[in-house]
Chains A and B, each alone.
Chain A
């Protein structure tokens, strides 16, 4: 179990603030489309077996099933949620993920989305999601994943994909889709030779070496769909 001393306080406010309908705000989560959410859900459902196999090798084998459950839940609210303002949409997605995915990934992806929801509240309402704004939201999400997992890059986790892909996204105000995809792919490949120090795989020690991390694999899948959507929307 991880050391709990001296850790920063987890983000709390975003988790329980009820969103009252605000007549001043535009009604839609501009740029967050049902197509994106459904495409990401489809990708995770198609990858269920592959993610399961990866997690069986170095974890408890539930990552494919957990993400598929989350994907179905997200797809189920996609049409509805994109009609709401972005902070509320992201908050509802985060809560849905937390309450449906379970496992270790639920709180990590859920915290990511809840932190993105909080960050979205500081953006001008109705602002379309361009690459710099996506980078700001993503950075808040990545910080939340680090806090929740008490982890960082190099521990053979989803952070090994999330962090380099964010760096590629932040490197230019214009979307360099290929660079972001390449960074995610390289990050995923990089988890192969790593020795896990977090999660169930950490119990395997050196035996975790040579396997891709399942959380990094699902993160790469999701990033690819997000980048597709931003690219299509510009």
Chain B
């Protein structure tokens, strides 16, 4: 099977990250790799750069990784996490400028259909 785009869901809340992954799974099953990362290492609300980086690495695919974020810190911490990846990987990870739940569902359905990273991102952003 050719590589599919993977998804990372980054929320300030572990519950939102988990719930969004559940909704994606219900839509597309196990066809693509999806991981949620929410909150800080101590379980409090927030975002944490090393946790996001580890999440991206855990689902990295040659086809790329689309990252869905909620509020400001999730976005900037995701940017920093991407910049810490090996350069060849960083180029294949993109943050979608989209609402986290709706964007994740749109991105997942595109990715499951075999779309490339750019098409996945556009699907999320154009929803």
Contact = CB atoms under 8 A, between A and B. Distances in A.
A225 B11 CA distance: 34
A148 B90 CA distance: 17
Given A16-B87, A102-B40, A1 B49 contact: no
B20 interface: no
A106 interface: yes
Counting chain A residues whose Cβ lies within 8 A of the other chain, the interface size class is: 20 to 34
A1 to B, nearest CB: 6
Given A3-B97, A4-B95, A60 B45 contact: yes
B49 A98 contact: yes
The CB with the most chain A CB atoms within 10 A, among B12, B72, B75, B98, is that of B72
A231 B75 CA distance: 37
Query: Which of under 10, 10 to 19, 20 to 34, or 35 or more describes the interface residues of B?
Result: 20 to 34
B51 to A, nearest CB: 9
B23 interface: no
B83 A15 contact: yes
Interface of A: 1-4, 10, 12, 15-16, 60, 62, 66, 98-99, 102-104, 106-108, 110-111, 148-149, 198-200
Given A102-B77, A103-B73, 20 more contacts: A1-B72, A1-B97, A1-B98, A2-B97, A3-B97, A15-B84, A16-B83, A16-B84, A16-B85, A60-B12, A102-B47, A104-B73, A106-B73, A106-B77, A107-B76, A107-B77, A110-B49, A111-B80, A148-B76, A198-B72
